[in-house]
Amino acid sequence: MHVVIIEDEAFAALRLKKMIQDFNPEIKILAELESVAESVKWFKSNPEPDLIFLDIHLEDDLSFAIFDQVNISSPVIFTTAFDEYAIKAFKLKSIDYLLKPIVHEELAAALKKYEQFSGLHPKSIDLQSLYNLLTTNEKKYRERLSISVGPKIKMVEVKEIAYFFVMDKGVYLRTSTGSTYNIDFTLDKLEELLNPDSFLRINRKYVINITSISQMISYSRGRVKLELHPKADNEFDTIVSIDRSAKFKKWINR
């Protein structure tokens, strides 16, 4: 089986690739693509794969824009962080969908479903209806995140998250009760998923919930130093950067 992965999160793509190869080492990954533009270029100059793993939201557009520019007959398994979109995709007759973070059991079930697949053509997948759903509906933000804790999946309510932070090349969330979990999303992706009324990225390392601020202190060069609850591991990591200071002040006064 030849597979293409279209995913703009490098860590998520790497994790998916490993899980696919763990399921069946004979599956060949032909390409790992990050954007609509890169995908269109690849499909115009390469044979189609047997199966595509397709993230709905890519760095430059919704992935459905790929189908507007090239004819693709390969079956698709959608991958998404948005559960309401995933359910719609499934109902619109994609082979299957995988809700991030993807777990081994669900991936195995989707690949087994593909093995039983008997020629569904993408014309029977109502891509236009799904595209319309994503582009015309009111913007919806995540209310909960699913995270992997060993072999188990745990649901965390977004309102219970105090902040997200980068540490040792990984991204973590910390709840209001002080629990810390590793997550698959980058801070850039989290900015898209979270309600900007409640969450703001204050610098390269932190996205915070406004309810986590326990104290604000004037700092050098017009910046603001924040004390968070629960307390951050390094208090100097929670200084609002110069380029985000104006946005931060508007945010807290909204």
Domain-ending residue, one of 113, 136, 159: 136
Same domain (yes/no): 93, 196:
no
Same domain (yes/no): 39, 100:
yes
Same domain (yes/no): 184, 155:
yes
Same domain (yes/no): 115, 16:
yes
pLDDT per position in the chain (254 positions), as tens?
899 999 988 888 999 999 999 999 999 999 999 999 999 999 999 999 999 999 888 878 888 889 888 888 888 888 876 655 555 555 544 566 676 777 788 888 888 877 766 554 444 455 565 555 555 555 678 888 888 888 788 889 999 999 999 998 899 999 999 999 999 889 998 998 899 999 999 999 999 999 999 999 998 887 899 999 999 988 789 999 999 998 999 999 87
Nearest to 224 by CA among 233, 236, 212: 236
Nearest to 7 by CA among 65, 50, 63: 63
Q: What is the CATH number of the domain that holds 18?
A: 3.40.50.2300
State how many domains the chain has: 2
**Percent helix, strand, coil in the chain (nearest 5)?**
35, 30, 35
Give the angle subtended at the CA of 128 by the CAs of 127 and 131, to the nearest 5°. Answer: 85
Distances, alpha carbon 132 to alpha carbons 65, 83, 116, 139, 149, in Å: 12, 17, 30, 13, 35
Host domain of residue 183: 144-252
Same domain (yes/no): 35, 149:
no
